[in-house]
Amino acid sequence: MYTSRALASFVLAWSVASPTIAAPDSLPAYGADPQQTSVSGLSSGAFMAVQLQVAYSRSIIGSGVVAGGPYYCAANNMAFAGVCMGQVPFFPPNPTLMVSAAKSFASARLIDPLRNLSARRVYVFSGTDDSVVRQPAVDATVSFFQQVGITQDNLKYVNKVPAGHAVITPSYGNLCSANASPYISRCDVESAGYDQAGALLQHIYGTLNPRVDTPTGQIVSFDQRAFAPETTGMADTGHLYVPQSCAASNAHCKVHVAIHGCMQSSESVGSQFYTDTGYNNWADNNNILVLYPQVNKSTTPFNPQGCWDWWGYTGGNYAKKSSSQMKAIVKMVSRLTQQP
Active site residues: 43, 130, 165
Contact between residue 34 and residue 58 where contact means Cβ atoms under 8 Å apart: no
DSSP 136: H
Q: Helix crossing, 95-107 with 135-147: angle to 10°?
A: 40
Q: How many CB atoms lie within 10 A of CB 18?
A: 9
Cross-strand bridge partners of residue 60: 37
In what order do the strands lie in the sheet containing 121-125? 155-158, 121-125, 60-66, 37-42, 254-259, 288-292, 237-242, 218-223
d(CA 172, CA 164): 14
d(CA 81, CA 103): 22
Long-range contacts of 204-210 (CB under 8 A, 24+ apart): 204/38, 204/61, 204/62, 204/63, 204/64, 204/121, 204/123, 205/36, 205/38, 205/62, 205/254, 205/286, 208/282, 208/285, 208/286, 209/285, 209/286, 210/285
d(CA 38, CA 257): 6
* Interstrand relation of 184-186 and 167-169 (parallel, antiparallel or unpaired): parallel
